[in-house]
């Protein structure tokens, strides 16, 4: 972990919930979102259901931001050849998205305070 510690949970698509990834997360004490592999358990506690629901909400927010990036900021049209260039283009796109949100907040404060 670049920050010195691992996250509490990871919210990923089903394609990334492999046995190897689940084991890696379990060894480091990271909760991975989504149902466990194999047959669904018969008795699931209310706490587990609630946690799964909260994880899904967080994941939906993240997916929504990616969708916004693709729809409004052409994130799905990246045509760079080198991985470094792709990473830079994606980082710049998210920087622009954050600056746009900040600018919207600033403008809204002028209209709300009047």
**pLDDT tens, position by position, 46-87:** 998 899 899 999 989 889 999 999 999 999 998 999 999 999
Which tens digit of pLDDT belongs to each residue from 20-52? 999 999 999 999 988 888 888 888 889 988 998
pLDDT greater than 70 at residue 18:
yes
- Own/partner pairs for 52-55, CB < 8 Å, 24+ apart? 55/9, 55/11, 55/31
Q: Which residues pair with 31 in a beta bridge?
A: 9
Question: Would you list the domain boundaries of the chain?
Answer: 1-34+45-77, 78-114
**Which pTM does this prediction carry?**
0.67
Helices 46-73 and 83-113, interaxial angle, to 10°? 100
């Amino acid at each position: 972990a670049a920050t010195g510690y691992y996250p509490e949970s990871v919210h990923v698509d089903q394609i990334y919930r492999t046995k190897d990834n689940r084991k890696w997360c379990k060894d480091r004490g990271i909760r991975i979102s989504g149902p466990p592999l194999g047959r669904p358990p018969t008795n699931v506690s209310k706490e587990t259901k609630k946690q799964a629901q909260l994880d899904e909400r967080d994941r939906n927010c993240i997916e929504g931001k990616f969708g916004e990036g693709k729809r409004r900021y052409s994130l799905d049209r990246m045509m760079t050849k080198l991985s470094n260039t792709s990473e830079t283009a994606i980082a710049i796109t998210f920087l622009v998205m954050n600056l746009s949100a900040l600018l919207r907040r600033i403008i809204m404060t002028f209209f709300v305070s009047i």
